[in-house]
A and B are shown apart, each in its own frame.
Chain A
Amino acid sequence: MQQISKEMKASQSAAMSLHTEEVKRLKAIAKELRIWTIKMLAEAGSGHPGGSLSAIDIITTLYFHTLRHRPQEPNWPLRDRFILSKGHGVPALYAALAKSGYFPIEELMTLRKTGSRMQGHPVAGTVPGVEASTGSLGQGITIAQGLAMASKMDGNPYRVFSLIGDGETQEGQVWETAMSAPKFGLDNLTVFLDYNKGQIDGTTKEVMDLEPLADKWAAFNWDVQEIDGHDIEQILRAIDRTASTLGKPHMIIAHTVKGKGVSFMENNMGWHGKTPNKEEAEQAIRELERIVI
């Protein structure tokens, strides 16, 4: 029986503590992005807190760990792409882009103001780092497919990621893309599904139940994983695991909580498209600041 050498043990534990440090770093960023999300929405007076907060951990992991991108060179042709298909979650994206250095963080407070480039849903050609105009559900995933195909044609220099919503998955176009992506062998495409179980008129179960959701994606020939969408370690591991399945696009169903991080918003459909007033925002920020990493 081979003994694990002292050197190997040491390097294993160094790797683990690097990993733990990395997870802590990402958690701290996610906390900060949540605070910015509340601040910008409170200032804007309109927008979508519920679906922005549920997406933050995924977006944090992508922008601060996984994506190869250059904030100082937003159009770097070899950059990994992220398409926010659930466009109403744009506050989370804007916060990640600002924190990454695409533009000054203070600009977040101009969200939805008249003439501001921080529009209520992402618009191509406005904010650096925003790839596509979304907000009309069911389309971003298709754009992501096209980008993944372009990358494959050019020797696969970049990966493509997209985030869709659960309500959004009711749109037929999502399933057209679900059907075609495997045909083109798009293993460079990874789609996260923000499964926060809520939409506007009610829970997804009440409005139009998606179950059995993982089965559906598997039946469409995607490589499917299910994770806790607020556990950064699980997000990291899921992204790593996509490398071991070749020839298939990847679906990561992330079980999340609408309004995650703010007690009075969590799982409350009312906070899909309603912003906190001054007192509510202050309470929300106090709660978020108390999060221990």
Chain B
Amino acid sequence: MAALSTRQSFGEEVAKLGEKNHNIVVMDSDLGKSTMTGAFAKKFPDRYFEMGIAEHNMIGTAAGLAMGGKIPFATSFSCFLISRYETIRMSVCYSLTNVKLVGTHSGIGVGEDGYSQMGLEDIAMLRSLPNITILQPADDIETRKAVRWAAETDGAVYLRLTRQKVADVHGENYDFKIGKGDVLRKPANAKAAVIATGGVVYNSLKAAEELEKEGIAVTVVNIHTIKPLDAELVLSLAKETGRIIVIEDHSEFGGLGSAVSEVISDSGIATKLLRHGVKEYGYSGTPEDLYDRFGFSTPKIKDVIKTFLKK
């Protein structure tokens, strides 16, 4: 199957879901060409709302639409969407509205546009809210299942998607379980566990496969549900090897790595944890170059794992 960006997978899936589910509504803030809402907009113009460059307005309106029985998917780049936190806090979460926030262009994978367009702090912002589900799918099939789950389940959801294409990690028969970590490989003699999420999962898996050939065995787990986190799985990984690396195209401060760190610290299980995320501002470059410079390419992830295991 040709690789798709997860934003593309979202666009296709929501248009498909809209056929049977007449309550689904899609909203844009002038980034429809980027958030891939065009298919839905064309099929269901009466259920599509262009809100213009006013994200607080879009989010609050989504809350009102949800109160009126609709299932709104409110879209923009993650940085522009989630930074409108106050409206998410009060009108979405604290008002208990069934709003689905869809943030594309997450991480340094955005590339040439540079930092201002990159979502790097969005997970950190939302993790502090008690009643929001945060999902970051790793590939096409996982995205489709996540979008379907979001449409069919009551409650605020944030879907974090890529601009760049991502290779498939899962097969057609993938069993997506909300809130449960997805174990991709688990060698018996694993020296460490690599927990990855979203756009970096494929490279993390590739890195582990190549390291196996060099005699280095690591477990690889894909976390698609960042909140609520599968603490049970995280703790079992900690107990098994006492060494965990968390890889994410997001700030190291407050992302999945921090969530994992919290769970492990609470437990008292002695674990060496490396949060391998973004420590500084992103900048312009090709997505491939940036992935390499920020340590998310397959060779760089291998280096990170080897260095970590030496410590």
Q: Is the CB of A142 within 8 A of B95?
A: no
Contact A146 B52, CB 8 Å, known A124-B94, A135-B90, A176-B57: no
**Is the CB of A115 closer than 8 A to any CB of chain B?**
no
B interface footprint on A103-145 (CB within 8 Å = 1, 0 otherwise) = 0000000000000000000011100000111111011001111
**Is the CB of B46 closer than 8 A to any CB of chain A?**
yes
Residues of B within 8 A of A77 (CB): 69
**Whole-angstrom CA separation of A231 from B248 in the bound complex:** 60
Measured as residues with beta carbon below 8 angstroms from the partner, the interface class of chain B is: 20 to 34
**Is the CB of A173 closer than 8 A to any CB of chain B?**
yes
Interface size, chain A (Cβ < 8 Å): 32
Between B46, B60, B70, B86, the greatest number of chain A beta carbons within 10 A of the residue's beta carbon is seen for: B60
Which residue on A lies nearest to B57, using beta carbons? A176
**Is the CB of B235 closer than 8 A to any CB of chain A?**
no
Contact A150 B65, CB 8 Å, known A124-B96, A142-B57, A180-B51: yes
Q: Is the CB of B86 within 8 A of A136?
A: yes
**Is the CB of B160 closer than 8 A to any CB of chain A?**
no
Instruction: Out of A133, A153, A154, A179, name the residue touching B94 (CB < 8 Å).
Output: A133
Instruction: Out of B64, B72, B97, name the residue touching A148 (CB < 8 Å).
Output: B64
**Is the CB of A149 closer than 8 A to any CB of chain B?**
yes
Contact A123 B94, CB 8 Å, known A142-B56, A173-B57, A176-B57: yes
Smallest distance from the beta carbon of B145 to chain A beta carbons, Å?
Answer: 27
Q: Is the CB of A172 within 8 A of B47?
A: no
**Is the CB of A151 closer than 8 A to any CB of chain B?**
yes
Instruction: Out of B52, B61, B86, B95, name the residue touching A124 (CB < 8 Å).
Output: B95
Residues of A within 8 A of B68 (CB): 146-147, 149-151, 153-154
Contact A173 B95, CB 8 Å, known A150-B69, A151-B68, A180-B54: no
Q: Is the CB of B96 within 8 A of A139?
A: no
Q: Is the CB of B54 within 8 A of A176?
A: yes
B interface footprint on A168-194 (CB within 8 Å = 1, 0 otherwise) = 000011001101100010000000000
Between B52, B86, B90, the greatest number of chain A beta carbons within 10 A of the residue's beta carbon is seen for: B90
B residues lining the A interface (CB < 8 Å): 25, 46-47, 49, 51-52, 54, 56-57, 60-70, 72, 86-87, 89-91, 94-97
A-B contact list, 18 entries, CB within 8 Å: A123-B94, A133-B95, A136-B89, A136-B90, A142-B60, A142-B64, A143-B67, A143-B91, A143-B95, A146-B63, A146-B65, A146-B72, A147-B64, A150-B65, A153-B68, A154-B69, A173-B60, A180-B51
